[in-house]
Chains A and B, each alone.
Chain A
Amino acid sequence: DAKTTQPPSMDCAEGRAANLPCNHSTISGNEYVYWYRQIHSQGPQYIIHGLKNNETNEMASLIITEDRKSSTLILPHATLRDTAVYYCIVTTSGTYKYIFGTGTRLKVLA
């Protein structure tokens, strides 16, 4: 079973920040949090990952709570092309056995 829970769907207005939460209350000390998204009929696209510090790249920011039991993916200025299913995955580094949960279907509205 997936170690994460996410809301099934969210809407966001175009140009606004999209904040996607993920709960991973059973995460252990050596497990990373990875975020991917899947646009319809394509393979998952890597977005960002982190261990305990907040991370930022050209696509998004990842905020991990101090107790590491939850995280939030932030898309700072959502566009229509960000409409996708977003997956939060927790796994031990180097194992690569990603277990996908049901993800959050984000719909960006014009």
Chain B
Amino acid sequence: GAVVSQHPSWVICKSGTSVKIECRSLDFQATTMFWYRQFPKQSLMLMATSNEGSKATYEQGVEKDKFLINHASLTLSTLTVTSAHPEDSSFYICSAPGVEYRLDSPLHFGNGTRLTVT
């Protein structure tokens, strides 16, 4: 089945530094990927849609300059949290449609990246 891989699975960084999270589709191509954020004991919130070859689209309230998204190839999207602060500590999860030519194809999710900013 469709596998989405995220790296790293966890990262600790100091306040003010930037962190890059990678999301790869391992056995399929994904022109579109989605980034979610999940705070403890809360549900997943969609942050942005990553589009291969074009700019990402961000959900309302998500700062595009803080969460930089690059979808450089059909199998890789990256999320960079710039100038991270403790309030950015969260669980970041990416996803991609498994079979894009099927309109009802479900999203497949990576295993997430736990970011802790100290």
Contact = CB atoms under 8 A, between A and B. Distances in A.
Interface of A: 2, 32, 34, 36, 41-46, 49, 51, 87, 93-94, 96-103
A42 B32 CA distance: 21
Contact of A41 (B32, B44, B91, B106): B91
B18 to A, nearest CB: 23
Contacts of B108: 46
B112 A43 contact: yes
B32 A96 contact: yes
Given A94-B103, A100-B45, 5 more contacts: A42-B112, A43-B110, A45-B109, A46-B107, A93-B103
Given A41-B91, A42-B111, A43-B93, A34 B43 contact: no
Contacts of B95: 43-44, 98
